[in-house]
Chain A
Amino acid sequence: MSDTAPDARREKASGAKIIRYRGVIKHYGEFHALNGVDLDVHAGEVVCLIGPSGSGKSTLLRCTNGLESIEGGDIEFEGALLARDERSLRGVRQRMGMVFQSFELFPHLTALENVAEGPRTVRRMKIMEANRRALAMLAKVGLSDKPASYPSALSGGQQQRVAIARALAMEPDVMLFDEPTSALDPETIGEVLNVMKTLAEEGMTMVVVTHEMSFARRVGDWVAVFDAGRIVEQGPPEQIFDAPTTERTRDFLSHLGWAG
């Protein structure tokens, strides 16, 4: 539905296209998780993927860094077609940070060790240097007082912020967020969203699967509405939330009680 995506209304469309999805198709057996998805992500943009559960948003994110393979279409990252072999994919993943709904911190490591793990194991950085970087990243997410804490001793919001720091420690070009606040208590959602907002303001390119409509509204540069493995509408947040052009978008937003 690229005709609903007039780039003229897209502020950061002048930036280089970091990710391009073209006709992306993904099956799980008989189930068609993605049914031909077209989407561009420009440098410095925050692209929010919204829509009902099971509509393919998270699947698209997992295909972006090759955690899932695709059956059809193309995904381009920084001008090159996404590799299919594990070795090249590892190189791509190092340039894409990923944050998961269930945090997935390593429970046997402290917060500092969690953040230093990528630089140490993947970038083969010396332990002192990796720790210095990890401390800086923890400070960035407001957790410089928790380096020695194990994940089990941290609140959900703190764990998710450590997970963001862990992804940032690899100095990625893009951050992928897979429902980062869905598993959080309401009172800790804000601290995670604030960290994400700061990142966005610093110019980080972000793809965010979210059910936080106010975040998508305020922070998003571009919003794509998913339904049944397709994008039913995409556009700037003002269009999606104030003047949706498709019945399906109106339907979805009204189910959420979105009142603009």
Chain B
Amino acid sequence: MRLVRHIAAASAFAMIAGAAGAESNVRFWYHFDNADNPIDDLVAKFEATNPDISIEAENIPWNSYYDQLYTSIVGGNAPDTAMVKLFAQPRLIELGALAPIDDMLAEWDDANNLQEGLLDLVKGGDGNQYYMPVQYVALYLYYRPDMFAELGLQVPTTCDEFHDVAKSLTRDTDGDGQIDVYGFGFRGAKGGHDHWATFTLGAEGVSLTEGLTSDAGVAGTQFVADLFQKDGVFPPSAPNDGFQEIIGAFKSGRTAMTIHHIGSANGMVEALGDNVSAAPVPACGGGQWTAFGDESTAVLSGAEDKEAAFKWIAFLSSEGNNTLFNQATGQLPVVKADAANWTLHPKRFVDATINSLEAAQLLPASPATSDFVNTVWPTNMQRVLIGEITAEEMNANIELLFTE
């Protein structure tokens, strides 16, 4: 009889535990290039401490990440939480897709462990907090110290120096009459606006929302066009080159400089060893401009259990877990303690990132920014590079987008 009672009690307990186990399900969308995909470890760790919440993490390919996110929101099938970038925030707010996390954030003990100012930086335009920072980078210039030494060149600090250095680096190294090394790997396809912005938006009074059609603004775009058409310092495939192409070309020694962030540093070191280093981007038109690469997580307004969703994103931005997360993405942690103990990248790349922060800028918080990034910039830049339109026309098209 006692045995029966025990069994009954045990099964009742199991049922309760089972029911509790299924209490909340949080769907999370993210994008990792890393094939090892260590998110499973993070999920297991989270579920062990939060047995009443189960996490359903889905890796969405980066190229169509936002297309899928927006359509899933409108289609009513959005995830509960997602990795998000700042440029998308105005559009997501306009869609009413984000849930404010101010109250939950106020009660979260670990908020003070985040690096200073980051929470403010990602605050929504309407004053609410929607985003929880999870990683960051700043773009800098990758260069080949061995090639620079061979030719007696210094790392360029201005666009004029950059122009001369890039020209010297573009050469035929084996004497077959073919160019083997190009000075700079320019990203002409989607995502390359950061390269163009370095050469264009550094000038005084020039930004995406003003001064783009001034002489100084047009000069920046013209500088890029001339580097390709007149000086031939970009590989001929530059108009179509995306992330894979510029990184691949740099690793194989096809290009001597390019612009990207610390996320690709370990791969570069694997391929080139000590023959790769980094420095802040050159100052162009009198000022320095580089992109601040942000990544946050957010709770979506359609989430059923917002507390559980917040617990998950807070977990990713807390001590130790944030290191695990950035191990996967190769970017830099937002938690002070994790940043202090950071050993996952060679120091020279961390230094270059920190030295670039001063010049790091965000794209304007405007719903037009998405179109700028996804279609307007790539198409116009490509048309300039292949000589279909002029630099003035390109800048006018971008200005029109932001003033419409």
A and B physically associate: no
